[in-house]
Structures are given as C-alpha cells and as structure tokens.
Amino acid sequence: MNRKEEKDYLDKLNLLETQSMRTCMEIKANIASLEGAENMDEIDRSTIGADISRLKAVLFQSETRLKQVHAARERIKNKTFGLCISCDDEIPKNRLIANPLSLRCLACQEEQELIQREAKLKSRPSSFSNDPEEPKTED
C-alpha cells in the first residue's frame, strides 16, 4: 500500500470514527433522557423500556464499530491492513474502498458467513420434533 492509499484509508476511518462517536453520544443522551422521565403510567414505562433496549442495541453496534476502526488503524500501523485474517491473501482494493473495516477476502468472508448461518440454524429449536415419545394429536 502506498502513502496515498494509506492516507485515503485513514481518512475514511476518521470519518467512520467521527460518525460512530457522534451516534454514541446522541444515543447516550437519548437513553439518559428516557431514563430520567417521570410521572409515567405502566404503558409509558413499558414503551420507554422497549425504546431503551433498542437504543442500547444500536449503541452496542456503534461502540463495536469504533473498536473496528481502532483495530483497522492498528493494522495500517503494523502493515497488515488489507491482508485477509483467514488466508493471508490480499483483500481486493475495491472491497477495502467500499469497507475499510473488511477483515477477510470475499471468498473467506462468504465461508465465514456460511459457518455462522449453519451455527445459527443448529442453535434454533426445531418446530418439528422427531421425538418418538411425543404424543401425536389427530385433527
């Protein structure tokens, strides 16, 4: 990676960091505002609780993005930026331009996503039971 490319990636990472930090601050302010609300009935408390849960999920995503930005900067510093963490091949420049947080080449990313989907499917309880002990009902 030449100096111009490095500068371009760092500029993109700085932009992502600024956006994520702003999002985190706004969400934290919204959560504090909702948690400080008074004189609520049961429905309001329930609605606000759900809103806070959703905001905390988005906050977690934004904080994760900040960690990814910092990790990408470290990879630039260590000269490992743009190398797939799975196979050590170079990640195509177009992929890095589109997402400078990319950790894997496209083939390894697709394989990782397939593994994650399969693990998710295996962890779900089946709606159809093959248990011979389960009583059968007739319609």
Residue ranges of alpha helices (H) inside the chain are 3-35, 42-77, 93-98, 106-123
Amino acid at site 46: S
Residue 75 lies in a domain: yes
Query: How many domains would you assign to the chain?
Result: 1
**Nearest of 102, 58, 64 to residue 80 by alpha carbon:** 102
Residue 137 lies in a domain: no
Model confidence pLDDT, tens digit, residues 5-32 = 999 999 999 999 999 999 999 999 999 9
* CATH number for the domain harbouring residue 44: 1.20.120.910
Residue 61 lies in a domain: yes
**Residue showing tokens 């080449």:** 105
Residue 35 lies in a domain: yes
Residue 130 lies in a domain: no
**55 Cβ neighbours under 8 A, 6+ residues apart:** 27, 30, 31, 34
Model confidence pLDDT, tens digit, residues 85-132 = 999 999 999 999 999 999 999 999 999 999 999 999 988 876 555 555
**27 Cβ neighbours under 8 A, 6+ residues apart:** 55, 58, 59, 62
Model confidence pLDDT, tens digit, residues 34-81 = 998 888 888 888 899 999 999 999 999 999 999 999 999 999 999 999
pLDDT for res 40: 82
Residue 138 lies in a domain: no
Residue 134 lies in a domain: no
pLDDT for res 139: 42
Domain of residue 112, residue span: 3-123
**Residue showing tokens 């400078």:** 100
Residue 132 lies in a domain: no
